[in-house]
């Protein structure tokens, strides 16, 4: 994977309504789209032309009975040619365009939808199950594929056939043509009116399916918990309401479609029956020839069949449209955090971080920071300490711009982070989380994620510094070993060492550690501490500390309590005071910091 070339991040500006969204991807292939439409229209002309040619053959049969069969040669040849050109040629052309262009279009839809979704805020991913998001992306692509490859050409074919049938009927008998048009208007009006509810039902069905997939992925992802807590039956019971809701939406959609098809079937049967009797009446009055009778009756039957087929496609269109709408509006919500149009790159980052009169609160919650100003000097090592849920992670998330401040500004080297691109901000920050998740890729690829253009030698050197090389080379496939989903094939300590190696490889000027050695044994921790200390040199380092002993070597300590920074200073100066920090230190005695309730 080292040969992949990264491009500058550019979140696509996708249309906010569905059909312009579809055209956004089709417009790059305008010639192919035009040919596709023309071929679909031509495909609908095959049956009418064939019926007209058969009418001519029938009208010429009395003359051919005298032995002059040559007069039938031309119309029969045209029937064969019509089949080759209009039926065989047109559908082969449609199939060719499908094969050549549709996969490219669908890949672009998936790729750009993924790009857009990855630009969503941290809150978006916290509020939506990952499986549900993935299902909506594939639903969107699959539904659009259904619309452009099946529904649209069949609609166009049906429309061209019906219009040609009307023209032929007009030349045979204008009154009969008027009756057919009246029936057609009633049929289409009824079908369109009923289909609106089918779109809404399909929307609900797609939403229920996405929710079920999201819940299933959540259960499968946490299968270890399900197993060790013996909760198989519990999960089945918990999923039952979701299954029932999906089943209900499925039943409602298809039962309504059954009713709609039944009404359409009755209307088509009435049209066919009336056409047959009316043509018999005209023939009895010598107002039509046998050829005319065969032409119009054949076209009527073909039109009835085509209308039935087209309405079935309308059913599929409504289902696809419902899925499309549900997925489209769920995924294409406005981006909460995005780069300004004139955002600049953060270059030559020195690592100075300043909070200037920052106010922040989560939606619907009390303010966490109020008018807070603080300055972290370039190269300074700062520890964050406090009870769980006191605001340490929020402090870090604001620096990463996972959330935007409510008021005030966060500056890096004097630049408001809202005025620089998110990519350039994140490129200058390396983070080692307490419980790192890895991609289901090779160890080499996971470490190289810190700097995708790094050579194998640089990756291995980083692994050695993180003391990961020793366990990696003992694996059957070494650096090519797949780590499993989220890295489940590795132990917590091994995952943490991979994350440390990744940060070492990235070598960013700002380093954030969330108790990066908490899952390591004491021997490995001692070895890695040296590597981390080396990594910290010359970097602005922020350490979220759960073990206060980690703070002994920090230049500065920020003490959090109930969403506020209540104390700050060096480790020694804080211990000299009757401070919350001293209380935490005395209570912990080198152990782990508990939550507030336990401490009280």
Closest by Cα among 480, 447, 339, 451 to 6: 451
- 340 part of a folded domain: no
Residues 247 and 379 in one domain: no
In a domain, 337, yes or no: no
Cα gap 539→541, rounded to integer Å: 6
Q: Crossing angle, helix 90-118 and helix 130-146, to 10 degrees?
A: 160
Q: Are residue 114 and residue 148 in the same domain, yes or no?
A: yes
* pLDDT value for 598: 38
- Burial classification of residue 391, based on how many CB atoms lie within 10 Å of its CB (0-12 exposed, 13-18 middle, 19 or more buried): buried
Same-domain status, 482 and 538: no
Give a yes or no: residue 4 inside a domain. no
CA-based angle 206:208:214, to the nearest 5? 100
Within a domain: 161:
yes
Q: Identify the domain containing residue 548 by its residue range.
A: 346-428+510-600
| Whether residue 518 is found in the same domain as residue 502 | no
Cα(239)–Cα(214) distance, integer angstroms: 11
pLDDT, residue 228, reads 62
Sequence-ordered list of residues with C-beta below 8 angstroms from that of 149, at least 6 positions apart, any chain: 98, 102
- With CA atoms as reference, report the closest residue to 592 among 536, 513, 518, 499: 518
Residue 2 belongs to a domain: no
Do 502 and 561 lie in a common domain?
Answer: no
- 335 vs 119: CA distance, rounded Å: 7
The number of folded domains in the chain is: 3
Domain boundary among 477, 507, 537: 507
Domain end, chosen from 307, 331, 355, is at 331
CA atoms within 13 A of residue 259's CA, in its CB half-sphere: 10
Task: Evaluate whether 413 touches 345 at the Cβ level (below 8 Å).
Answer: no
The Cα angle at residue 527 between residues 524 and 528, in degrees rounded to 5: 85
Both 166 and 35 in one domain: the answer is yes
**Residues 470, 359 share a domain:** no
Q: Return the CATH number at 558.
A: 3.40.50.300
480 and 566 housed in the same domain = no
413 plus 488 within the same structural domain = no
Do residues 455 and 483 both lie within one domain? Answer: yes
Q: Establish if 554 belongs to a structural domain.
A: yes
**Partners of 430 in the β-ladder:** 511
Spatial CA neighbour of 296 closest among 311, 277, 312, 269: 277
Computed from CA positions of residues 493, 497, 499, 500, in that sequence, does the dihedral angle turn out positive or negative? positive
User: Does the residue 183 lie in any domain?
Assistant: yes
Classify each residue of 103-122 as buried b or exposed e, where b means 16 or more C-beta atoms within 10 Å of its C-beta.
Answer: eebbeebeebbeebbebbbe
The residue written with tokens 């080379």 in the block is: 473
CA dist list (Å): 194 to 292, 313, 315: 35, 14, 10
Tokens describing residue 466: 């993180």
**Local confidence pLDDT in tens for the 600 residues of the chain:** 445 545 555 666 788 888 888 888 888 899 998 999 888 888 877 767 777 777 777 777 777 666 666 777 777 777 777 777 666 778 888 889 888 888 898 998 888 888 888 878 777 877 777 777 888 888 888 888 888 887 788 888 888 888 888 887 888 778 888 888 888 888 888 888 888 888 788 888 878 887 888 788 778 777 766 766 667 788 888 888 888 998 999 899 889 888 888 888 888 888 888 888 888 888 888 887 787 777 777 777 777 777 777 777 777 777 788 778 878 888 888 878 888 888 888 877 888 899 888 888 877 677 777 777 889 999 899 988 887 777 888 888 899 898 888 888 999 988 899 999 888 888 899 988 887 888 888 999 999 988 888 899 999 999 998 888 989 999 989 999 998 887 888 888 888 889 889 999 998 899 998 876 666 667 667 767 777 787 888 889 999 887 777 777 888 988 888 777 888 888 888 888 877 878 887 776 544 444 444 333
CATH code, 142: 1.20.1560.10
Examine the domain organization and report whether 35 and 22 are in the same domain.
yes
DSSP 8-state code for residue 479: G
Alpha-carbon distance of 133 to 151, in angstroms, equals: 26
Q: Same structural domain for residues 103 and 218?
A: yes
Please check whether residue 318 is in contact with residue 199, taking contact to mean a CB–CB distance below 8 angstroms: yes
Residue 225 near residue 275, CB atoms below 8 Å: no
Choose among 118, 97, 109: nearest CA to 21: 109
Is 593 in a helix, a strand, or coil? Answer: coil
Last residue of a domain, one of 507, 532, 558: 507
The answer to whether residue 195 is domain-embedded is yes
pLDDT recorded at residue 596: 47
């Amino acid at each position: 994977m080292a040969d992949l070339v990264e491009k500058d991040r550019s979140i696509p500006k996708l249309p906010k309504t569905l059909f312009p969204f579809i055209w956004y991807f089709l417009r790059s292939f305008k010639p192919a789209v035009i040919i596709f439409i023309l071929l679909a229209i031509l495909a609908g002309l095959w049956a009418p032309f064939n019926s007209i040619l058969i009418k001519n053959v029938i009208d010429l049969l009395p003359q051919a009975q005298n032995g002059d069969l040559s007069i039938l040669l031309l119309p029969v040849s045209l029937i064969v040619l019509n089949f080759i050109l209009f039926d065989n040629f047109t559908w082969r052309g449609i199939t060719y365009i499908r094969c050549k262009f549709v996969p490219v279009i669908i890949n672009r839809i998936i790729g750009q939808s993924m790009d857009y979704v990855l630009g969503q805020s941290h809150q978006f991913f916290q509020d939506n199950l990952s499986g549900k998001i993935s299902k909506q992306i594939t639903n969107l692509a699959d539904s659009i594929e259904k619309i452009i490859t099946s529904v649209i050409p069949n609609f166009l074919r049906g429309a061209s056939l019906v219009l040609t049938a009307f023209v032929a009927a007009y030349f045979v008998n204008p009154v009969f043509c008027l009756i057919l048009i009246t029936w057609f208007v009633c049929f289409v009006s009824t079908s369109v009116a009923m289909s609106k509810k089918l779109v809404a039902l399909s929307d609900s069905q797609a939403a229920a399916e996405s929710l079920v997939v999201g819940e299933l992925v959540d259960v499968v992802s946490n299968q270890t918990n399900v197993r060790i807590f013996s909760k198989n039956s519990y999960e089945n019971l918990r999923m039952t309401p979701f299954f029932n809701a999906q089943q209900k939406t499925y039943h409602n959609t298809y039962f309504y479609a059954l009713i709609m098809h039944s009404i359409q079937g009755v209307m088509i049967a009435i049209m066919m029956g009336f056409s047959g009797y009316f043509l018999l009446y005209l023939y009895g009055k010598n107002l039509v020839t046998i050829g005319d009778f065969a032409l119009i009756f054949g076209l009527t039957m073909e039109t009835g069949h085509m209308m039935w087929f087209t309405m079935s496609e309308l059913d599929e269109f409504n289902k696809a449209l419902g899925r499309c709408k549900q997925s489209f509006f769920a995924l294409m919500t406005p981006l909460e955090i995005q780069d300004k149009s004139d955002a600049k790159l953060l270059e030559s980052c020195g690592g100075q971080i300043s909070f200037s009169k920052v106010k922040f609160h989560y939606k619907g919650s009390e303010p966490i920071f109020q008018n807070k100003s603080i300055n972290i000097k370039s190269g300074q090592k700062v520890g964050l300490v406090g009870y769980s849920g006191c605001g340490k992670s929020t402090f870090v998330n604001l620096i990463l711009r996972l959330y935007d401040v409510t008021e005030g500004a966060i500056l890096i080297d004097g630049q408001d982070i809202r005025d620089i691109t998110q990519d350039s901000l994140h490129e200058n920050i390396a983070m080692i989380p307490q419980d790192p998740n890895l991609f289901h890729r090779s160890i080499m690829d996971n470490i190289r994620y810190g700097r995708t253009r790094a050579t194998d030698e640089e990756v291995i050197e980083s692994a050695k510094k993180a003391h990961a090389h020793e366990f990696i080379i003992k694996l059957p496939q070494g650096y090519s070993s797949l780590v499993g989903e989220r890295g489940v094939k590795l132990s917590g300590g091994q995952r943490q060492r991979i994350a440390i190696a990744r940060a070492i490889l990235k070598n960013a000027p700002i380093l954030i550690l969330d108790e990066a050695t908490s899952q390591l044994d004491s021997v490995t921790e001692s070895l890695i501490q040296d590597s981390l200390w080396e990594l910290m040199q010359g970097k602005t380092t922020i350490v979220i500390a759960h073990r206060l002993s980690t703070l002994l070597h920090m230049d500065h300590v920020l003490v959090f309590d109930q969403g506020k920074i209540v104390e700050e200073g060096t480790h020694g100066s804080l211990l000299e005071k009757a401070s919350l920090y001293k209380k935490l230190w005395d209570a912990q005695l080198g152990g782990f910091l508990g939550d507030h309730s336990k401490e009280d």
